[in-house]
Structure 1
Amino acid sequence: MRGDDRDDPFGDIFDEIERMMNEMTGTGGAVGDGSGFSSETHVDVYDESGQVRLVADLPGVEKEGIELKCDGKTLTISAASPHREYDERVRLPARVDEHSASATFNNGILEVTMDKLGDSAAIDVE
């Protein structure tokens, strides 16, 4: 048996991870699968002291084509360019005050910053 004829012991694990990631992000397929949405959007989320910061690459998009929505737990990024559409739902690592959000967009890079909400208050039982 040659080395390249053996089963890759990690192949099934990587296939399963990719399947689960596709389920979580709703991409279900590869780029160009006909859905109109790109699965190559790169989004980084940073949990910083007192704030959550999100940085997303949206190449080819104009600022006017970006729509952001936040419910305190999830940030939805919708954007369109003549060649692509982006529709990303990003679960935030901490609950945030969506009314504190500020966003900048420069050279295809979107940066959104939101204040974290404090821990839940304890309730005394009397």
Structure 2
Amino acid sequence: MRRDDRDEPFDDLFREIERMMNEMMNGADANVNFDSPGGPGSPGDNGFGTDTHVDIHDTDDEIRVVADLPGVEKDNIELECDGKTLTISASSEHREYDERVSLPRRVNEHTASATYNNGVLEVIFEPAEKSSGISLE
């Protein structure tokens, strides 16, 4: 016996939501089925998109970088900064993160502090002192 689509009035809505979620999670590959092998939720798939979510908050006193690194242990995070760019390298069982974050202005990387709690990395920088002009004699 064939199922009549009129029996399930929300099927179209649920299919559209699933299509949009697949598109969001897998970029251009929007035809992945959640129930198929190799689809989202299968072993080897972490269920996250290809980009790390990073927010930058710039105030007069500090520059705060907040990055989501789900599933990463604190010991598997490496941070480097050259004053203009913060590099976040991290790894989990299912994913490698390698993000270069351009900072909105030059920072003093020697005064940076970082915390990691429940998959959220927070790095705080003091702004670099403005360089002084050099007078000619």
TM range (shorter): 0.5 to 0.7
Q: Where in structure 1 are there 5+ consecutive unaligned residues?
A: 1-29, 33-37
Question: Cα–Cα, structure 1 residues 116 and 97, in superposed 2: closer, same or farther, change >3 Å?
Answer: same
Which structure shows the higher strand fraction? 1
1:49 aligns with 2:60: yes
Larger relative contact order, structure 1 or 2 (CA cutoff 8 Å, min sep 6): 1
The SS at the match of 2:75 is: helix
Deviation at 1:122, TM superposition (A): 1.8
Match of 2:16 in 1: none
Identity within the alignment, %? 61
Q: Which residue of 1 aligns with 2:102?
A: 91
Larger Rg: 2
Q: Calculate the TM-score normalised by the size of structure 2.
A: 0.63
1:35-88: CA deviation from partner (whole Å, max 9, x where unpaired)? xxx622000111111211100000010101100000111000000000001000
Q: Stretches of 4+ moved more than 3 A in 1?
A: none
- TM value normalised by structure 1: 0.68
RMSD (Å), alpha carbons = 2.0
Where does the alignment leave 5 or more consecutive residues of structure 2 unmatched?
Answer: 1-26, 30-48
1:15 alignment partner in structure 2: none
2 CA distance for matches of 1:122 and 1:50? Answer: 23
In structure 2, relative to structure 1, the CA distance for the partners of 1:84 and 1:31 (3 Å cut) is: farther
Residues 31, 39 of structure 1: 8 Å contact kept: no
